[in-house]
Structure 1
């Protein structure tokens, strides 16, 4: 049952997001779109609530229950940025908006970008582990508790790795290669390509 709930929640989340963007840019129903966007976290919270009920009903705890909790954590940490990404691409594709800019690759902008990723990962991990902690009393037996406990070090490692990567970019910012001109951390002109074309001709 829990697998079905997770799949249904995943599909529902994207359907609600698609409806929100469609009503905003195709139908110009901004209030409806806003209401749908606000409802996105409700999908993950509903999944978590059903997970709690599933465990309270006597179902044996498994890693799938922890995965269901992670959906709510991911929604808090990465949800806003994912919605913003989808919004930019939908606006460009269907409403004549500007082409979305790629993520910055060099300089302080790349460093700031890596810290944003680290922040989202840490927030997601903290929320997920908090929700898993609430599930643990509902699981029967030490073996079931151990199933949930594995997520502590797994998510902890993921958060630490992201922070270390961001820290490395702070200590050693990535600089563009010679011949590459960047603006706001993004490549606007690559002289190396021109040199290759000229040498080839």
Structure 2
């Protein structure tokens, strides 16, 4: 445990990524608690609006670290990927949590589960892959900005030689195993099962 804390102290970006992840869930849960159990939608709205600020802080610190001569390491790459994934999937994650809090504390309808069969499943898989594509694009733009506008290609080699290819490979695998296979062979619903669709 001591070694882990020592590594975090030595690597500001890694510690900040962990802190941002904690901060994201803190503001999300605090906002939903204020909105539903505490019946204070204005306070809840303010807390929920703070979730994007966590990403802004991470981006600013990453840029500052590279601008001051730091060499990009895998935590810098992880920061760019984290920012992309948060912006790509953050809204759907917030909606997922909001549905459950609304159902539990405000008498809202039961949360809609992802579809398992038919055309609804195909649409759902394409929607999820679309979110990943947005996350990939945001991460690629951030990495490109760090390479060409903040630092130098030599200092940021890990970004475009390791991080971006890994994320691209993940996207290709996701496409093949997700929307592509589901489209050419959609799962058939069981007899009497109803198709649903999650936006």
Shorter-chain-normalised TM-score: which range? 0.7 to 0.9
CA RMSD in angstroms comes to: 1.9
Equivalent in the alignment of 2:142: 131
Q: Based on CA coordinates, which of the two structures has the bigger radius of gyration? A: 1
Q: Could you tell me which residue of structure 1 aligns to residue 90 of structure 2?
A: 79
In structure 2, C-alpha distance between the alignment counterparts of 1:105 and 1:14, rounded to whole Å: 28
Structure 1: runs of 5+ lacking an equivalent: 187-201
Task: Give the paired residue count.
Answer: 183
Partner of 1:46: 57
More strand by share: 1
1:75 to partner: Cα distance: 2.1
Q: Distance in 2 between matches of 1:37 and 1:106?
A: 33
Q: Does 1:166 align with 2:179?
A: yes
Q: Is the counterpart of residue 26 in structure 1 residue 31 in structure 2?
A: no
TM-score normalised to the size of structure 1?
Answer: 0.82
- Does the CA-based 8 Å contact 2:140-2:164 persist in structure 1? yes
CA–CA distance in structure 1, aligned partners of residues 66 and 33 of structure 2? 37
Higher relative contact order (CA 8 A, sep 6+): 2
Task: Mark the runs of 5 or more structure 2 residues left unpaired by the alignment.
Answer: 1-11
1:8-64 deviations in whole A, cap 9, x for unaligned?
Answer: 111111111011101110222222222322221121121111111111222221010
Q: Does the 8 Å contact 2:189/2:195 carry over to 1?
A: no
